[in-house]
Amino acid sequence: MTNFDQHCLTLRAALFASLGLAATACESSGPRGASTASAGFRVRTGPAQCDSARSYTPCAGTEADLRCRTDADCNERPVGMCASRAAVPAATMRAAEPAACDCIYGCSVDADCGPGELCVCGPDLGSSASACVPASCSSGSDCASGVCGLSIYDDGCRTTRRIACKTSDDECNSDDDCKPNERKKPTKCVFVEEEKKGQKARWACRAAECQVGRPLLLDGVVHAAPAARRCDWLAAEIDGTAPELSNDERALVKEHWLRAGALEHASIASFARFSLQLLAMGAPADLVRETQAAMGDEIEHAKTCYAIARLYGAEASGPSTLPAATAPISSDARQIAAALVAEGCIGEALAAAEAAILADRCEVPEVARALRRIAEDEQRHAALAYRALAWMASAHGAIVDEVVEDILAAQAWGPAPREDGPGATGPARHGVFGDAEARALKARAVSLAIRPALAAAVSRAEAAS
Ligand SMILES: [Fe+2]
Ligand SMILES: [Fe+2]
């Protein structure tokens, strides 16, 4: 077992413990799926008949991580497959991750899927296997616009699939309508759920915005303050000599830590908003206190990141303004639960996993020390999120159940690493992964720790209701 798997399993144990459960059972869950295409916008034209529902590599039984051995072990749905896969290709990692066997559930026809789902064939999903996808239309005749589309949104951490009608409220008709966002990230036309009260679910342009750490999400967009020259957001303990590295690497590392500082600063606002929501819902004192304490941790994380950026040659920097911090705060239980899952249960857990493995690989002692402390804090924050979710389930079991089921049903194992993409690898010895490495590691954390813990949270919600 690799160090990263060990970190993920430690994280999983902590998340299960926060739910009052022992992380002994190996959960098996996999992607489900969807249908067809036109220029940058896939259109559902009718019932699926997937010939290749079972196109996958069967488990050999010699894989290092065996969560199933034969298809008979995968019996939660009609088309269960025990698939073998290399968890993380060696090409994107410094060492290959072990192969694993896990259940995936495909489909041949719509009848193989659950209520509110339709079968989509593998080629339409860019996958070797078909899958069941949550759907609010089955063909264009169900839609006033005459168009029923398949949305596949890879946000950088996970892939969400939906089949939904095009409407007159949409922001885009196809990817051609979507321009790069303010951070110059390319965007795609995808279906987004109701993001704030009174706003309808619709098709909109979205980028792969998933970041390490608890994001401040408004309208599905990550918000963070631009950097400003200042000295009051620099941790005093990071004050060494700049490590030796090339100019290109130095620029990359410096920018990474400035961005990390801005995201940690935004995490303070995320926790501040959540503490008000906890108060509004009448939460227990320990959840409110721990949320306040977590805000303090995020202040220290932000100061640490800005100080590390300075270590690598950035001007003394800190955050400028963050207007999104005072945006209207929702009191709707479903929106609070959805934000808690996205920002806390997923965002914090991913941050803990990534910081832990980077701390192992980092060769600059003070940066490695900082990463280790951040990893410990983020794991505690993730556990707090799962405890808060469990508490919410005691009063809103059906809503929590639906929110988590929705996420588990709609998301695949995680994004495939892009071996040929720019910035595939990064200088991990300075605490920075490349895009492909980060995505591969996130996929592993989702598979090993986050999906099982969310599934356990649903079970607990069902038991409580
Ligand atoms: Fe943090
Ligand atoms: Fe955090």
CATH code of the domain containing 379 = 1.10.620.20
Q: How far is the CA of 295 from the centre of ligand 2 (A)?
A: 8
Residue-range definition of the domain harbouring residue 120: 37-207
Q: DSSP secondary-structure letter at 359?
A: H
Compare 47 and 267 and report the one with higher pLDDT.
267
H/E stretch holding 151 reads strand 148-154
Contact residues for 69 (Cβ-Cβ < 8 A; gap 6+): 59, 61, 82, 101
On whether the CB atoms of residues 320 and 225 are closer than 8 A, the answer is: yes
Predicted local distance difference test score (pLDDT) of residue 421: 38
On whether the CB atoms of residues 434 and 94 are closer than 8 A, the answer is: no
Q: Looking at the CA of 274, which ligand is closest?
A: 2
The answer as to whether 11 is a domain residue is: no
- Identify the weakest region by mean pLDDT among 19-33, 98-112, 273-287: 19-33
Helix (H, G, I), strand (E, B) or coil at 83: strand
Q: What is the mean pLDDT of residues 358-372?
A: 91
Predicted local distance difference test score (pLDDT) of residue 420: 38
Regarding whether 156 and 44 lie in a shared domain, the answer is yes
Regarding whether 221 and 189 lie in a shared domain, the answer is no
The answer as to whether 308 is a domain residue is: yes
Q: At what angle do helices 435-445 and 349-361 cross, to 10 degrees?
A: 120
| AA identity, residue 191 | F
Q: What is the mean pLDDT of residues 436-452?
A: 80
Considering 27-41, 154-168, 205-219, 266-280, the range whose residues carry the highest mean pLDDT is 266-280
Regarding whether 254 and 141 lie in a shared domain, the answer is no
How large a percentage of the chain has pLDDT more than 70?
Answer: 79
Contact residues for 279 (Cβ-Cβ < 8 A; gap 6+): 288
Q: How far is the CA of 377 from the centre of ligand 2 (A)?
A: 6
Residues found in the chain: 465
The answer as to whether 1 is a domain residue is: no
The answer as to whether 394 is a domain residue is: yes
Residue 269 pLDDT more than 90?
Answer: yes
Q: How far is the CA of 214 from the centre of ligand 1 (A)?
A: 7
Domain end residue (candidates: 162, 177, 207): 207
Count of domains observed in the chain? 2
Q: How far is the CA of 431 from the centre of ligand 1 (A)?
A: 15
Q: How far is the CA of 445 from the centre of ligand 1 (A)?
A: 17
Predicted local distance difference test score (pLDDT) of residue 195: 56
Regarding whether 250 and 398 lie in a shared domain, the answer is yes
Q: How far is the CA of 88 from the centre of ligand 1 (A)?
A: 26
Compare 129 and 453 and report the one with higher pLDDT.
453
Regarding whether 232 and 100 lie in a shared domain, the answer is no
Q: What is the mean pLDDT of residues 283-289?
A: 96
Q: How far is the CA of 85 from the centre of ligand 1 (A)?
A: 32
Q: How far is the CA of 418 from the centre of ligand 2 (A)?
A: 27
How large a percentage of the chain has pLDDT more than 90?
Answer: 25
Helix (H, G, I), strand (E, B) or coil at 9: helix
Domain end residue (candidates: 207, 241, 270): 207
Predicted local distance difference test score (pLDDT) of residue 419: 39
- Identify the weakest region by mean pLDDT among 22-31, 60-69, 277-286, 352-361: 22-31
Q: What is the mean pLDDT of residues 281-285?
A: 95
Q: How far is the CA of 457 from the centre of ligand 2 (A)?
A: 20
* 162 phi/psi in degrees, rounded to 5: -150, 150
Regarding whether 189 and 294 lie in a shared domain, the answer is no
Q: What is the mean pLDDT of residues 41-46?
A: 68
Q: Walk across the sheet containing 99-106 and list its strands.
A: 65-66, 99-106, 79-86
Residue 87 pLDDT more than 80?
Answer: no
pLDDT bucket at 272, cuts 50 / 70 / 90: very high
pLDDT bucket at 245, cuts 50 / 70 / 90: confident
Regarding whether 221 and 361 lie in a shared domain, the answer is yes
Predicted local distance difference test score (pLDDT) of residue 32: 30
Among the listed residues 47, 31, 48, 45, the one whose alpha carbon sits nearest the alpha carbon of residue 149: 45
* Gap between the Cα atoms of 388 and 146, Å rounded: 42
Location of structure tokens 């040659």: 313
Q: What is the mean pLDDT of residues 72-83?
A: 83
Regarding whether 41 and 70 lie in a shared domain, the answer is yes
The answer as to whether 173 is a domain residue is: yes
pLDDT digit string, tens, across residues 15-26: 888 887 765 433
Compare 163 and 125 and report the one with higher pLDDT.
163
The answer as to whether 85 is a domain residue is: yes
Residue 28 pLDDT more than 50?
Answer: no
Q: At what angle do helices 365-410 and 3-18 cross, to 10 degrees?
A: 60
Predicted local distance difference test score (pLDDT) of residue 464: 63
Regarding whether 244 and 193 lie in a shared domain, the answer is no
* Gap between the Cα atoms of 393 and 415, Å rounded: 29
Compare 327 and 418 and report the one with higher pLDDT.
327
Residue 196 pLDDT more than 70?
Answer: no
Q: What is the mean pLDDT of residues 290-317?
A: 95
Regarding whether 325 and 187 lie in a shared domain, the answer is no
The answer as to whether 350 is a domain residue is: yes
Regarding whether 174 and 224 lie in a shared domain, the answer is no
The answer as to whether 21 is a domain residue is: no
Predicted local distance difference test score (pLDDT) of residue 98: 54
423: left (phi over 0), alpha (psi -120 to 50) or beta: left
pLDDT bucket at 265, cuts 50 / 70 / 90: very high
Q: How far is the CA of 126 from the centre of ligand 1 (A)?
A: 34
Domain end residue (candidates: 207, 231, 266): 207
Compare 218 and 423 and report the one with higher pLDDT.
218
Q: What is the mean pLDDT of residues 193-205?
A: 73
Location of structure tokens 């939906």: 162
Regarding whether 248 and 197 lie in a shared domain, the answer is no
Residue 90 pLDDT more than 60?
Answer: no
Q: What is the mean pLDDT of residues 22-44?
A: 45
- Output the average pLDDT for the chain: 80
- Identify the weakest region by mean pLDDT among 87-96, 132-141, 335-344, 440-449: 87-96
